[in-house]
Structure 1
Amino acid sequence: MSLGDAPHQRTAPRVVILGGGFSGAIAALHLARNTPVPVDIDIVEPRPLLGGGVAYSTPDPQHRINVPAARMSAFSADMGHFDRWLRRSGVLATDPQALVKGGHIFSSRLEFGRYLDGLVREQAASDGPAHIRHVQQRATSITPIPRDAPPGQSFGYAVALENGGRLVADMVIIATSHPPPSPPRNLVEALGDDPRLIANPWAPGALDGLDANARVLVVGSGLTMADILATLEAGGHKGPITVFSRRGLTPRGHALDASDLVGDFATRPEVTALALLRRIRATVKAAEVEGRPWQVVLDAVRRDARAIWQALPLEQKRKLLRHLRPFWDVHRYRIAPQPEATIHALEARGQLEILAARLTDIGAAPDGIHATLRPRRGGANLTRTVDAVVVATGPAHDHLIGAVPALAPLVASGRLHPDALGLGIAVDDQSRVLDVRGVPDETLWVAGPLARATFGELMGLPQVLTHAEEVARSVARRLPGQAAPEAPKNGARSKPGVAVAD
């Protein structure tokens, strides 16, 4: 099937999935498994690995999954699926450090990407009515193709590609998530294109040019920072490293031996951020009395996150994001044992300092970059002269829509708009995109983090998995031609694997 097929030339509806990271791969996999009628599924993703995205396509073996493999899967009904896949794959023979105390596996993130990619390609090769194709391109625009009725709906969408090709879709699932990092403005203004400013540590080879004795300043203290330190340590870095963020909060570790969760936050959920905080703290204290770690309480909060979020009025959601989100992030998005051990080792050697401070001045000079930091809790300003500044503030999630130029025509036409919290795209409780009038569109969907203003916790497993599965099932129910018979098991549509269009 060529990239420029017109609607009347197709015998099956086409669903275009914009983005082939975790959310896009899961949506494609489960749409193919749930559809009762023939459907062409095009995954528009420039990376060669389906399911990799930013998170799971990193080739650095030091970049570990952040939860045990037994809690990661492509199937919410079988959360041990990835763990079993890993143990069969032989990865532990080549990466013995992946196995930690208690028999838990924290593999490289690339292994999870390979697992997802294999599942999508296996599904594509199986018998069934769905035809999956990997369009290994970047989409440049998605333009509605209008029709007369009903008002505001589309006949479909024209998806323009970077190579000049075009797809015509009946339905679109927007599954983009992590945009590139956005360096703080004062860094850009002061350092410009100075090669000593590493604005995107995820870029291939971003840290390769650093001298082993280089003095390094890391801006941000979250999981991206942990990846940076793991890479530097594995490369034999010997120079001093200063990490700073406004609060100096770092990701917390796991309680790997804990089992049953503690707390019920979905029954009579709180309607203010303060009441929610007090309820969580009280539950943590009660768990401590019983000798239970805080992690089992926070995991219960995560389990009940959708009910909690939807019970909060809009203004209370804003308060939660403004005041509590940094603390939630470091407790919810935990660090794997291997990079956690690296951080402790660097601190023990006196090679690493982590500061709660803000940058008040920075400037480039021949002998290095001079930075002035103001400690959060007062005291004299601190000065550091470094050879490199690495931005570890993570993806620029506050610019999600702007980071996807392909969405611009949908925004301009009023078919899509940002949510009220600035977290992504406005969608309804089924994840259908809402237009500027608040009307949901049956042909335009969001899978993944861009929908989190409606659903709440949508940045980590298993919530993103469950959400993508739900979207896939909803789209499958709305495909044109539901009354059509299933495609023959051994018909003309033979499927040796995922077709790749370039």
Structure 2
Amino acid sequence: MDTVAILGGGLSGAIVAWHLARSSAVRIVVVEPRAELGRGLAYGTTDPDHKLNVPEDRMTLDTADLLHFRRWLSSPEAPFLPPGSATLRGEVFAPRGVFGQYVAQTVQPWIASGRITHRRTRALAARREGAGWLVDLEDGGTLSAGRIVLAVAHPAPRVPAALEPLRGDEGLLLDGVDTIAPDERVLIVGSGLTGADVVATLARRGQRGPVWMLSRHGRRSQPHGPRQPETAADYATTPEHTALGLLRRVRRDVARDAQAGLTWHAVFDRLRAQGPQIWAALPHPERARLLRHLRGLWDIHRFRIAPQTEAVLDRQIAAKRVTPLRGRITGARRGPDGIVVEIGAHHLTVDRIVLATGPAHDRALVENPLLAALAAGGAVTADPHGLGIRTTAECRAIAADGRAQDDLLVAGPLARGAVGELMGVPEITAWAERIARALALRGATRAA
């Protein structure tokens, strides 16, 4: 029987495995060191303050069943949600760990039945052998597969050049804040969703020391809007071919919608829905220009903050326990009283620096051993815009010789360079379904 090896069992890998198990008889092996599939980096957290940033009726593992997660929340298998998870208008913003539990429990019956095999180890390398692949595993074993799906985790945040002198210092935190003492002085680098999560966690733990939240432009993730009609804006029928043209068009549409009583959210929801068509119409230089000048604005409007998290952040700022800062770090050193951070002409002394700038997708092929091995063999190449792995719009990895490979597919955000938008659960789910269909179709063709 044809074997599909899914390397990585976080959200992306779990969704591909689940859909493939339901639609094909191929042998499915997921290589993931965690005890449960679907947890991953984002949804493995047990912190109740790390909430989904969209309500429950927009989260699902099946685009044909938009209320799949909502029904599970009402089932006996779901845990009780923390107080305050629901807003006054009835929207539920569950902890991310609860969504991870939903994914794990949805996939588990297929593991129990033997349709999905979960190997609790890591993939270190993969190379072609005959008509298929041979994967080297961290536990010393190997795995033979006809096709591979790369569903590896997000890379760690990039350490800014100005903070390089602190690499390895216990005061520089790239993952987690459990070691921060309540009286310590904390600088959070990044004011997006991750930075807000850090503030919420510290507040719940009774942080007494001062906290500063630094961002280059002083922007914060924007709140959710009201339930409202859809915009008439359309960016797919006659798409723009320049970043500037797109920006001007968005501004016109937002202004027109405002006259009709709509908020800016309607236009940005349309931008998100038509993201692949917008991205496909932009030449590569214009894509680079959009990322360089407009990505920050897009992120704070696209990745909206849960109202509960926003309320905590607002309270902490109002009480002067958190101080927003605008600027960029120009230097840092370990001093006698802590870490001295230079922000322009100003100096700030702190005990801890938390990097909350998001994953450095442009470093994925360097920092991940599996991807580095594949890149060394020419099987994968970096996206030209630093968005991960270069793929086609049909999920296929593009080799160093420019060839699109039918037996090497890429799931999750590392494939976002092909479509422009591939970070949210709806997009990740739709992309995973596309991969599962392609794998099932080819498996059926081989069987015939």
TM normalised by structure 2 equals 0.96
Q: Which of 228, 231, 251 does residue 281 from structure 1 map onto?
A: 251
Q: Which of 359, 368, 380 does residue 404 from structure 1 map onto?
A: 368
Contact 1:219–1:390, Cα closer than 8 Å, also in 2 = yes
What residue is the counterpart of 1:134 in the other structure? 118
Contact 1:15–1:39, Cα closer than 8 Å, also in 2 = yes
Of stretches 433-442 and 56-65 in structure 1, the one that deviates more from structure 2 is: 433-442
Matches within 5 A, 1:11-410: 12-35=1-24, 38-89=25-76, 93-125=80-112, 131-146=115-130, 155-189=131-165, 191-201=166-176, 207-374=177-344, 381-410=345-374
User: 2:431 aligns to what SS in structure 1?
Assistant: helix
Contact 1:102–1:257, Cα closer than 8 Å, also in 2 = no
Structure 1 distance, partners of 2:79, 2:37, is 23
What residue is the counterpart of 2:418 in the other structure? 454
Deviation at 1:94, TM superposition (A): 4.5
Contact 2:187–2:354, Cα closer than 8 Å, also in 1 = yes
Structure 2 distance, partners of 1:177, 1:286, is 41
Contact 1:251–1:330, Cα closer than 8 Å, also in 2 = yes
CA RMSD of aligned residues (A): 1.8
Cα gap change, 1:116/1:349 in structure 2, threshold over 3 Å: closer, same or farther? same
Residue 332 of structure 1 aligns to which amino acid in structure 2?
Answer: R
Cα gap change, 1:138/1:256 in structure 2, threshold over 3 Å: closer, same or farther? farther
Structure 1 distance, partners of 2:8, 2:80, is 33
- Structure 1 unaligned regions, length at least 5: 1-11, 147-154, 202-206, 375-380, 485-502
Deviation at 1:319, TM superposition (A): 0.5
Structure 2 distance, partners of 1:140, 1:449, is 20
Give the greater-gyration-radius structure (CA). 1
Contact 1:224–1:393, Cα closer than 8 Å, also in 2 = yes
Residue 405 of structure 1 aligns to which amino acid in structure 2?
Answer: P
User: 1:88 aligns to what SS in structure 2?
Assistant: coil
What residue is the counterpart of 1:495 in the other structure? none
User: 1:327 aligns to what SS in structure 2?
Assistant: helix
Structure 2 distance, partners of 1:463, 1:138, is 26
* Corresponding pairs, count: 448
Cα gap change, 1:250/1:371 in structure 2, threshold over 3 Å: closer, same or farther? same
Residue 193 of structure 1 aligns to which amino acid in structure 2?
Answer: G
Deviation at 1:448, TM superposition (A): 1.5
Residue 17 of structure 1 aligns to which amino acid in structure 2?
Answer: I
Residue 364 of structure 1 aligns to which amino acid in structure 2?
Answer: R
CA distances 1:274-305 after superposition (whole Å, capped 9, x unpaired): 11111111111111111111111100100000
TM normalised by structure 1 equals 0.86
Structure 2 distance, partners of 1:198, 1:404, is 19
Structure 2 distance, partners of 1:77, 1:117, is 19
Residue 169 of structure 1 aligns to which amino acid in structure 2?
Answer: A
Residue 22 of structure 1 aligns to which amino acid in structure 2?
Answer: L
CA distances 1:288-329 after superposition (whole Å, capped 9, x unpaired): 111111111100100000100001111111111111111101
Structure 1 distance, partners of 2:397, 2:302, is 28
User: 2:75 aligns to what SS in structure 1?
Assistant: helix
Structure 1 distance, partners of 2:346, 2:93, is 37
What residue is the counterpart of 1:149 in the other structure? none
Q: Which of 466, 471, 475 does residue 430 from structure 2 map onto?
A: 466
What residue is the counterpart of 1:477 in the other structure? 441
User: 1:97 aligns to what SS in structure 2?
Assistant: coil
Structure 2 distance, partners of 1:390, 1:346, is 17
Structure 2 distance, partners of 1:468, 1:319, is 29
- Structure 2 unaligned regions, length at least 5: none
Calculate percent identity across the aligned residue pairs.
42
